Amino acid sequence: MRVVVASVQMSARLLAVEENLERADCLLREAHLGGARLAVLPEMFNTGYGFLPDYGPYAEGPNDRTLTHLRRRSQRWGLTIIAGIVEREDRHIYDSLAVCQPDGSIQTYRKRHLVFWERFRFRPGRSPLMVSTPFGNIGLAVCADMIYRRVWDDYRRRIDLAVVSAAWPDFANRHTGRRHWLMGHIGPMSAEIPAKVAGDLGVPVVFSNQCGATHTTIPLLGMLIAENIPDRFAGQSSICDGRESAPVVAGVDEELLLATVRVNRPQGAKTCHFMSPSAHAA
């Protein structure tokens, strides 16, 4: 089965929710007009990604404005939209990935491997999530999740397509180009890991990353002393088919990637395991 998929690479200004939603909406419209049936937005595409005192006031549930809007778009365009948001459930907030399907359902995957300051602001997710769609089962990961073996072992032979949504920085000073002493070699991996996963698991991988300037905060002594790098997001979003063709890779600026991938659904019924708490909206 061949499916057109879209990876949205965009910059998201910190806390400029309306502006970010509008920008994403334009790119989603382009994806829809290009025939996409699946579109992926970066991690925290609506709030922007960066160290803040509290994400609480910007965290949303399934009936708040971001997901209400994406659900409408998904239903109207017949487009499955996967988007990174800050999710709230009761008193807890999560760095989540919401899957909006054309039937109006919304399910959320919560990032399991929080790094740096994220541990101070979010609650980690507990389990993987595989979502059943008309074109196969999708396995989800957020940013740093993808560097851990366990994440991909959990999905091996159980998914037909993998999605990674990220705000992956370059870990280099954007003015001087000097790489960070500890994390500098991690930045370029954003382009390598999705291709490796596609080859290893034998499924297409859609990777959507933020782009543009940012400040990467690395805690040194709690959050009292932290290192701030005038950084930029690595961009290099990609769509990797896994078997047939070379990956389609974006540059470092805003861009919409569209590509046709082959999804091999196994014959007969396939069991889906929904292991993560999911938000089902009416």
Partner 1 sequence: MPFYVPVGPRGLIFQLGCWVYGIVGTLTYWRASRRRGLPALRLTTPFEFREA
| Interaction of residue 168 with partner 1, rule CB under 8 A | no
196 a catalytic residue: no
For residues 145 and 235, give the distance between their C-alpha atoms in angstroms, rounded to a whole number: 17
b/e per residue 99-118 (b: at least 16 CB within 10 A) = bbbbeebbbbbbbbbbebbb
111 a catalytic residue: yes
Distances in whole angstroms, Cα of residue 250 to Cα of each of 144, 210, 237: 19, 11, 5
Which residue among 60, 87, 111, 118 is the active-site one?
A: 111
26 a catalytic residue: no
| Interaction of residue 151 with partner 1, rule CB under 8 A | yes
Distances in whole angstroms, Cα of residue 224 to Cα of each of 181, 217, 219, 278: 20, 12, 8, 35
**Of residues 137, 142, 97, the one with CA closest to residue 270:** 137
| Interaction of residue 13 with partner 1, rule CB under 8 A | no
- List the x/- string, 169-198, binding to partner 1 by CB under 8 A: -------------xx-xx--x--xx--xx-
Nearer CB in complex with partner 1: 61/212 = 61
Q: Which residue in the set 6, 114, 203, 229 belongs to the binding site for partner 1 (CB under 8 A)?
A: 114
For residues 89 and 73, give the distance between their C-alpha atoms in angstroms, rounded to a whole number: 23
Query: Considering the complex, what minimum distance in angstroms separates the CB of residue 1 from partner 1?
Result: 26
Nearer CB in complex with partner 1: 179/270 = 179
For residues 279 and 110, give the distance between their C-alpha atoms in angstroms, rounded to a whole number: 11
Complete DSSP assignment for 72-109 = HHHHHHT-EEEEEEEEEETTEEEEEEEEE-TTS-EEEE
**Of residues 146, 264, 243, 156, the one with CA closest to residue 198:** 243
Which residue among 43, 60, 87, 118 is the active-site one?
A: 43
Query: Considering the complex, what minimum distance in angstroms separates the CB of residue 263 from partner 1?
Result: 22
Q: Which residue in the set 35, 78, 103, 120 belongs to the binding site for partner 1 (CB under 8 A)?
A: 120
Considering only the stretches 98-106, 117-125, 230-238, 260-268, report the one whose residues sit in contact with partner 1 under the rule CB under 8 A.
117-125
Q: Could you give the residue numbers annotated as active site?
A: 43, 111, 143
- Residues of this chain that interact with partner 1 (CB under 8 A) are 17-18, 21-22, 25, 29, 32, 54, 56-58, 60, 64-65, 69, 76-77, 88, 91-93, 114-123, 146-152, 182-183, 185-186, 189, 192-193, 196-197, 219, 222-223
